[in-house]
Amino acid sequence: MSTRTLAVVSAGLSVPSSTRLLADRLTTATVDALRERGVTATVEVVELRQHARDLADNLVTGFANEPLRDAVGTVAGADGLIAVTPVFSASYSGLFKTFFDVLDKDALTGKPVLLGATAGTARHSLVLEHAMRPLFAYLRATVAPTAVFAASEDWAGGDAGTPALTGRVHRAAGELADLVAARPPAAPADPFADPGTSFEDLLKGL
């Protein structure tokens, strides 16, 4: 069996959170779908709540500290990405957007991505199409056709979710698995390997 790496970005703010719960369901289903296709998957999770201050510092200084560098490297070097955000003010959260703002502009080019979002009401479900999909299209990622939204009522049956949610999760996971399995393994990537401007020039104010 070949091996692929999945990065999982969860922007949930609470512990536990429905955002992380959905991310975990999508991850488990994708790992199972990849196994059915003869691919063993390793999973690395990036919890953005742990990097909120790191991201703010990066925005104002232009430099990422080591924990944030590791998180960015995890996403940039993965064979596939699962990205899940809570919905705030009818869009993805600011924390979610900030993380993808600090990625290198080419970090997600061609990378298979599965999108997910959570909110208290199904009225926010279009966030997947009017906000998240355009963002990842701009980043030139290859986004799975099915994106998964989970409202509070989707967890009415407990952590496993309703049958309807389970069906969406498995359909989306199968689509991501097809995309990941069809690509050769990603080469290890250092998103900060070519900073463009040398440290000496930065000190000179260039």
User: Given a cut of 70, is residue 196 above it in pLDDT?
Assistant: no
Which distant-in-sequence residues (6+ apart) come within 8 Å of 133 by Cβ? Answer: 115, 143, 147
> What SS3 string covers 24-62?
HHHHHHHHHHHHHCCEEEEEEEEEHHHHHHHHHHHHHHC
Q: Is 158 exposed, middle or buried (0-12, 13-18, 19+ CB in 10 A)?
A: exposed
21-25, 127-131, 161-165, 166-170: segment of lowest average pLDDT? 161-165
**Structure tokens, 148:** 């998964």
Band the pLDDT of 21: cuts 50, 70, 90.
Answer: very high
User: What CA–CA distances, in Å, run from 185 to 4, 63, 80, 85?
Assistant: 6, 29, 10, 26
In words, the CATH class of domain 2-203 is: alpha beta
Average pLDDT in the chain? 90
50-104 pLDDT, tens digit each: 999 999 999 999 899 999 999 999 999 999 999 999 999 889 999 999 999 999 9
Model confidence pLDDT, tens digit, residues 102-142: 999 999 999 999 999 999 888 888 899 999 999 999 999 99
pLDDT value at 158 more than 80: no
DSSP 122: G
Question: Can you give the pTM of this predicted structure?
Answer: 0.88
Tell me the C-alpha distance between 15 and 180, whole Å. Answer: 30
Tokens found for residue 87: 């919905």
- Could you tell me the residue ranges of all domains in the chain? 2-203
Q: Which of 11-15, 152-156, 189-193 has the lowest mean pLDDT?
A: 189-193
